Structure 1
Amino acid sequence: MGNAIRSLYGSCCKPSTQEDSAASYGVSTATVVVGVSALARDLLSFEQTSQVPEGLSQHVASSKKTQAKWYNKLLQAWKEAQLPPRTRKQASRLIIQTLKEYQRTDVEGLLRFYGLPIPRKWVEIPDEEVFPPTQPEGVQFELQTFPVDARAVGDGDGLTVYADATDPREAPNVPRAVQLAVSRRAKARASGDFETADAHQQDIVDAGYRVFNGSNNEEILAKKYRIRLRGIDAPEMEMPYGKEAKVELTKLLQGKCLTIGVYGEDQFGRLVGDVHCDGKFAQEIMLRKGLAWHFEKYDKRPELKKWEKQARDAHRGLWASPNPEKPWEWRKNNRRH
């Protein structure tokens, strides 16, 4: 399974054919990080089948029995990590640290197999350097997404994202009914029974998932999540600067893979979290540009208050008005919205 999907992640921003028009569902065909997702899928496949990837033996000298030991160790290290690798460098460090007792040439071969960087000098890597710093207090888990389509951004503080359902942290939660629908849909399409395939596709969509095609027409299952940016409240679309806020958030996130530190769910079933992409913190951008309020009732982080004050003092965005209406007050006075 991992090898069949690996080519989707082989190039940067490489467009792909999508039979189900995934972009209209908030999924773009832009790149996902090379190597990291391929490694994650192969670890998931190993957990389910105890089989190592085909073709790995062309890169390493060790037997398949030894390779199986590697994947067992890597699977455990991945699961036990406070934060799984997000970048190629972090994935490389995980492999080197976990397999440090094995031959260097074999470890290098494994890194090449996944297109991961090989260090010029092999030194002991301290455990604390393997992963990023600890998440802010209250973060329950980290969500990695597929690139975001512009139509997935609903307003200045909310959007829809899709996460790879074959990731080891997602796969155990895929309902059996969805797994069966995916399998039956593929068989129906292979036999030319597109009416039945479409019915199964609708079952998948109704369950909160999507199936779309990768660069080599391999099928990718993705889970849908609705996201609410934590700690800010942007103007509603009917309010002044509501449209400007949506445009700014769209410009920031469109086509990007996001890292979302999830704190929990709100009363509407949305995941509430910190949204990061390309080293930028989305909440910071929205506050600094005067396109959102600090939602201090639910998030008392001082940096959010500071960024709002900077925009106020500079009269940026909505702060060009001397007394802009607060979105929570607007909603209270406009219940029908």
Structure 2
Amino acid sequence: MGNALRFLYGQCCKPSTAHDSETLGPHGVSAATVGVSALAQDLLQFDITSQVPEGLSQHVVSSKKAQANWYTKLLAAWKEAKPPPKTPEEAARLVILTLKRHHKADVEGLLAFYGLPPPHTLVQPHAVGVAPQWPEGVKFELQTLPVDVKAVADGDTITVYVNTEDPRESSSVPRDVQVAATQRSKARAVKNYTKADELQKKIVDAGYRVLNGPNNEDILARKYRIRLRGIDAPESKMPFGKEAKEELVKLVQGKCLVIHAYEEDRYGRCVGDVYCNGVFVQESMLKKGLAWHYAAYDKRPELESWEKGARAARVGLWASSNPEKPWEWRKDRREGR
């Protein structure tokens, strides 16, 4: 991580000449490179010193302690991004996705500090490493709030929440849900928690939830149950069922996801491809031998290849010579065998 940041800084943050002086950004480099290179430099410094850059407080409203929390998250996201951001647009998207639950003014202030594009100028924002165009068959894209550990049901199913301020969601929130969310905030303000809990139940029953934001603000979010497309992980009571769930938790816990939704299954779940900071989650599960390629429903050759690689390496469930297929295990249970 440190070497990668140093290389990027060395390539982009070269001393400016007098000819460049009119285009200098707040870090003393050209406007064309200030976003990525300066952020890389500051993340490197934060990794070493745990200190946020001087002058940032002039652009944001939160405390130094909150700022340090941002840089901790950004540092982790940068380490996981494959490849790391190389353009101002990619860097801006990483910041926006990583700090999505934080105060809008803080996110915009941080972007402005680095001369990065503001959110409204980015077209179809995606996680770093995700193709800018949707693959064929994608019906819509979800950009989630950070995933809670309790939201992972097993190795191939998760529950996610999407902020209703998202343009796709904002126009479809039922009026009664909006009213209930407003009334809940008022009830909590006067410490009428019984009333607030009643309203929260009404909101939850409608498929939404009010979550607590990083600055103690209320976030009205829509609930989605996601079935990871193209894989079938061992059920919880099967061998490696526990390990599959734990690996999925490790991949997504506390992180914002980008989900390409293809269809809805018979259980009302969105069947989709899940990306986390540029990592394709299904690929990771297959390569670690913690899921089968669900070939009956997904013919993608790359999924087949990843499963074959895990089989050959005898990792995960493939340590067994003849592991039971989860779809056959479920069928046997339905038929009482």
- Counterpart secondary structure, 1:224: strand
Aligned residue number for residue 229 of structure 1 = 228
Q: Which amino acid aligns with 1:118?
A: G
Shift of the alpha carbon at 1:259? 0.6
> Normalising by structure 2, what TM-score?
0.64
Alignment deviations for residues 258-306 of structure 1 (CA, whole Å, 9 cap, x no partner): 1111111111001111111122111001101111110011111110000
Structure 1 position 271 matched with structure 2 position 270:
yes
Instruction: Return the alpha-carbon distance in structure 1 between the equivalents of residues 217 and 131 of structure 2.
Output: 32
Alignment deviations for residues 53-89 of structure 1 (CA, whole Å, 9 cap, x no partner): xxxxxxxxxxxxxxxxxxxxxxxxxxxxxxxx99553
Shift of the alpha carbon at 1:141? 1.2
Shift of the alpha carbon at 1:328? 0.6
Q: 1:129 to 1:31 in 2, by over 3 A?
A: closer
Aligned identity (percent) is 57
Q: 1:31 to 1:221 in 2, by over 3 A?
A: farther
Shift of the alpha carbon at 1:113? 4.4
The more displaced of 196-205 and 227-236 is 196-205
Q: 1:119 to 1:191 in 2, by over 3 A?
A: closer
Instruction: Return the alpha-carbon distance in structure 2 between the equivalents of residues 222 and 149 of structure 1.
Output: 13
Aligned residue number for residue 151 of structure 1 = 150
The more displaced of 212-221 and 162-171 is 212-221
- Counterpart secondary structure, 1:322: coil
Shift of the alpha carbon at 1:145? 0.7
Aligned residue number for residue 251 of structure 1 = 250
Aligned residue number for residue 326 of structure 1 = 325
Aligned residue number for residue 174 of structure 1 = 173
Q: Is the 8 Å Cα contact of residues 11 and 31 (structure 1) preserved in structure 2?
A: no
Aligned residue number for residue 111 of structure 2 = 115
Structure 1 position 139 matched with structure 2 position 135:
no
- Counterpart secondary structure, 1:304: helix
Shift of the alpha carbon at 1:187? 2.2
Shift of the alpha carbon at 1:112? 6.4
Shift of the alpha carbon at 1:224? 1.1
Instruction: Return the alpha-carbon distance in structure 1 between the equivalents of residues 295 and 330 of structure 2.
Output: 17
- Counterpart secondary structure, 2:284: helix
The more displaced of 285-294 and 186-195 is 186-195
Q: 1:171 to 1:87 in 2, by over 3 A?
A: farther
Q: Is the 8 Å Cα contact of residues 31 and 147 (structure 1) preserved in structure 2?
A: no
- Counterpart secondary structure, 2:334: coil
- Counterpart secondary structure, 1:169: helix
Q: Is the 8 Å Cα contact of residues 91 and 116 (structure 2) preserved in structure 1?
A: no
Q: Is the 8 Å Cα contact of residues 260 and 274 (structure 2) preserved in structure 1?
A: yes
Q: 1:86 to 1:177 in 2, by over 3 A?
A: farther
Aligned residue number for residue 295 of structure 2 = 296
Q: Is the 8 Å Cα contact of residues 157 and 227 (structure 2) preserved in structure 1?
A: yes
List aligned pairs for 1:184-263, cutoff 5 A.
Answer: 184-263=183-262
- Counterpart secondary structure, 1:260: strand
Aligned residue number for residue 92 of structure 2 = 89
Larger RCO: 1 or 2 (CA < 8 Å, sep 6+): 1
Q: Which stretches in structure 2 are left out of the alignment for 5+ residues?
A: 1-60, 75-87, 96-106
The alignment of Structure 1 onto Structure 2 pairs a total of residues equal to 243
CA RMSD of aligned residues (A): 3.5
Q: Is the 8 Å Cα contact of residues 233 and 291 (structure 2) preserved in structure 1?
A: yes
